[in-house]
Structure formats: C-alpha cells, structure tokens
Amino acid sequence: MSKKPFVTKEKLEEIIKEYPTPFHLYDEKGIRENAKAVQEAFAWNPGFREYFAVKATPNPFLINILKEYGCGCDCSSMTELMMADALGFQGEEIMFSSNDTPAEEFAFAAKIGATINLDDFTHIDYLEKTIGYIPETISCRYNPGGVFKISNSIMDNPGDAKYGFTHDQILEGYKILKEKGAKRFGIHAFLASNTVTNDYYPTLAKTLFETVVEIKEKTGVKMDFINLSGGVGIPYRPGEEGNDIRAIGEGVCRVYEEVLVPAGMGDVAIYTEMGRFMMGPYGCLVTTAIHEKHTHKEYIGVDACAVNLMRPAMYGAYHHITVMGKEDAPCDHTYDVTGSLCENNDKFAIDRQLPKIDMGDLLVLHDTGAHGFAMGYNYNGKLKSAEILLKENGDFELIRRAETPKDYFATFDCFDILKDMKDPYQK
C-alpha cells in the first residue's frame, strides 16, 4: 500500500527547471480545504479559534492562507511573535505559549497585546516584575501529572514533561492572578503528541472541563476560554486511518454540553493550537537520487539530508517515499535512503522496500508540511532549502528562497577574517 503525492512527476519536472532540488513543496488546495473543515467542525462554539502553531511551519505565505479562515497564531518565541505582528495579527489573535521564557519575550508579547499563557507558577511574579503589571487577560498551562490514557491505552506521560502548573499550583495561581487584577482567564493543556484517534481531544476536554468547574467552585475564577492546544496527529504510514476533525469536534461538543453547560459555563470559548494537523499532510520534501552504493547494504544517496528533514534522524520517524514515475512498479529492492551528513543516522529510510531507483529519479518524502523545514539546521555547513507553494490553479510560487553561503557566513560579517572568500555558487 502506498500514499499518493499531491503533485505529479510532470509538474515536478517543470518546477526543477527553475528551482533545483531539494525543496519543500506545499499544497495550497489541501491547506485551504483542511482549514475550512476545522472551522466547520467547531462552528458550534461561537468563540472558537484555531491558533496555528507557528513553530510547525513558520512561513508567512502559508500563515496568511490560514488567516483567511480566521486562524490566529500560537507563538513560542520572540521571532514567532515578530512574524505574527508583522503579518497583522493583533492582540488576542496571538497566543504566546512559551516556557523558560526570557523577560524580553514577555515584554514584547505584552506590548503587542498577545494573550500570555504562563507555563509555571513562578512566572506570575516574574511576569509582573518584567512588565510592571498582570494583564487583564491571562492563561495558565495545566499539567495534571501521571500518565495520560485513552481506553486504558497509555498515550503519553505528562508527569515527565517540563510544562505546566500542577493541580494545586493552578488553583493557587488563579487566586493570585485574580487578586492582581486579571479579569479574563484561560486554561491550556497539552498531554499527548501526534495522536491518531478521534478520542484525544474529547478526553482531554473532559479533563480540562472538570478542572475549570473545580477552579470556579474553589476560587471564584470563571474561565473565558479553554485551549486544547495541539496533539492531533496525522497518519504517516500508508493504510493508517487518519483523524476525522468533524467527529473530533462533535466529541468535544458532547463533553462541553455534559460538563460545562450544567455548570453555567456554556459561553466558554474553545481554542486549539494545531500545527501538524493543519499543515503536515500538505507538504513534501522533493529530492533527487544522486548516488548508489553497494557495500554491506544497498544505499541510495539523495541531495537532501537531515538538515532538510530532521525527524527520521532525531526520532526514527517514518516518512513514506514515492519514487516519481514508478508508483506502480514492484517494490522489490531494499534500500537505506541517505543524506550526506557525517552522521550515520542521516537516513530517511532504513531497509525500505522500494522500486529500483535510478540516478536522477525524483523522490517525494510525504507529510513534511509540519516540523519539516522548521526543524532544519546547518550542521556540516549545509544550507537550508527553498520552500515552494503549489497553487490551486497549478502554478507554483517561491515562498522562501534557498540559503546561500552568504547567508551561512552572514554572522561573521562584522569581521575581516572571511572578506576575501569566493562563492563557488555565484554565477
């Protein structure tokens, strides 16, 4: 079983005449259809907003598409806040969910009116000392500890995570925030990553909804919004069943009516902060086979490496590979597909059954639209690739140019040591 790319071999051959591989390619049509589906799935909640996790795919062209569907930005750093601000997101359209946060980032978030989501009890005093006050709208991140289960299946281990307030801390935290002048309150939790089950959000929602009812009873603080954060995943492997966002929305609605409405909290807004689900399936990494090696194993070397897609090297993550033009050929060859880094874990696939690969073949690595380009780095002096948008009408547009050696050496530009260096890529 295989996955079908959203782009044809003919279209890729057209693109590479202008932009050489490797590059990340994004599917505008898929992004739009998915964003619309998310909005429809939670339309039952008048205050709903999806805050796209900028960390997943920090590209302003793609974020602007989501903005058309009412999405805000979930930011976790200064530069992400700067990007959201530059794109015209205002005030509560920006959620700042950070941890171990430098003072200057809290200060900038407050300056642009972003909703600050505190990660720790000690950050209440830290924020007040930094900006001189507690904002009228404030959120806190909750970590109930222990393990998180769905139907007796362990999904993740929040107790080992560095994020969030404990149960006792969050009760005390809201009391203090209310005393210090906060008037609008939110709560946030992220308890499992990349879940492929329609039960995750409803189960998480029940935990949070019951917690906010308790908070109201014990502190008098009534939540204005509940942020389910991210964690809604995608099926990376062929044959895996994906999440049904409409079923997820219905599940959250059901728990909302069971828990919040009877408690007099039927006006609470629901927020989400999805990155992977919003963008993951709608990006791919396009690379060219440039070497083959026959030693103790059969290797195919491509012109991309872990700099372009870190997840397989970092997590052993699976990304499906399509050899373009050979979709119907038998997968009767076993390859390790590798990049050129001086690290043995720089492999996109290990012992993968694929069609016979010839030099010059184009390979598409699926589901790189989130945490793909974004996790890139410059080890071995490798340069980050371009990003290209495949538009709905079939045209394509460069939305981030590839790095050049000049970019790599730019942070030495205040010294003379490299002033006479020649650029071999310069034509």
Q: Which residues pair with 222 in a beta bridge?
A: none
How does residue 289 score in pLDDT terms, banded at 50, 70 and 90? very high
- Rounded distance, CA 254 to CA 379, Å? 48
- Rounded distance, CA 116 to CA 76, Å? 10
* Mean pLDDT (the chain, rounded): 94
Pair 204, 291 in one domain: no
Pair 262, 298 in one domain: no
Pair 97, 151 in one domain: yes
Tens-digit pLDDT profile for residues 312-351: 999 999 999 999 999 999 999 999 999 999 999 999 999 9
Report the range of poorest mean pLDDT among 155-164, 245-254, 268-277, 297-306: 155-164
Pair 256, 364 in one domain: no
Per-residue pLDDT, averaged over 207-231, amounts to 96
Domain boundary at 221, 246, 280, which? 280
How does residue 250 score in pLDDT terms, banded at 50, 70 and 90? very high
Does residue 78 or residue 149 have the better pLDDT?
78
Pair 196, 71 in one domain: yes
| Res 96: pLDDT | 98
Percentage of residues in the chain with pLDDT exceeding 90?
89
Residue 387 falls inside a structural domain: yes
| Res 423: pLDDT | 76
What is the enclosing helix (H) or strand (E) of 131?
helix 123-131
Pair 131, 164 in one domain: yes
Number of domains into which the chain is organized: 2
Residue 328 falls inside a structural domain: yes
Pair 288, 257 in one domain: no
Residue 4 falls inside a structural domain: no
Q: Does pLDDT of 37 surpass 90? A: yes
pTM: 0.94
Pair 162, 185 in one domain: yes
Single-letter amino acid, residue 154: I
Percentage of residues in the chain with pLDDT exceeding 70?
96
Domain boundary at 239, 257, 280, which? 280
> CATH no. for residue 138?
3.20.20.10
Domain boundary at 280, 313, 329, which? 280
| Res 154: pLDDT | 47
Tens-digit pLDDT profile for residues 126-184: 999 999 999 999 999 999 886 766 655 545 567 677 889 999 999 999 999 999 999 99
| Res 148: pLDDT | 65
Tens-digit pLDDT profile for residues 42-71: 999 999 999 999 999 999 999 999 999 999
| Res 150: pLDDT | 64
- Rounded distance, CA 38 to CA 241, Å? 18
How does residue 427 score in pLDDT terms, banded at 50, 70 and 90? low
> CATH no. for residue 387?
2.40.37.10
Residue 422 falls inside a structural domain: no
Residue 122 falls inside a structural domain: yes
Per-residue pLDDT, averaged over 9-32, amounts to 98
Provide the strand spans (E) within 190-297: 225-227, 269-272, 283-294
Q: Does pLDDT of 395 surpass 90? A: yes
* CA angle 80–375–193, rounded 5-degree value: 85
Which residue has tokens 């071995």? 380
How does residue 193 score in pLDDT terms, banded at 50, 70 and 90? confident
Pair 124, 259 in one domain: yes
Return the closest-CA partner of residue 62 out of 222, 270, 279, 234. Answer: 279
Range of the domain at 353: 281-407
Residue 172 falls inside a structural domain: yes
Pair 130, 216 in one domain: yes
Q: How many residues does the chain have?
A: 427
| Res 243: pLDDT | 96
Residue 427 falls inside a structural domain: no
Per-residue pLDDT, averaged over 269-298, amounts to 98
Does residue 197 or residue 10 have the better pLDDT?
10
Pair 274, 288 in one domain: no
- Rounded distance, CA 37 to CA 247, Å? 11
Pair 262, 353 in one domain: no
Per-residue pLDDT, averaged over 108-129, amounts to 97
- Rounded distance, CA 264 to CA 222, Å? 10
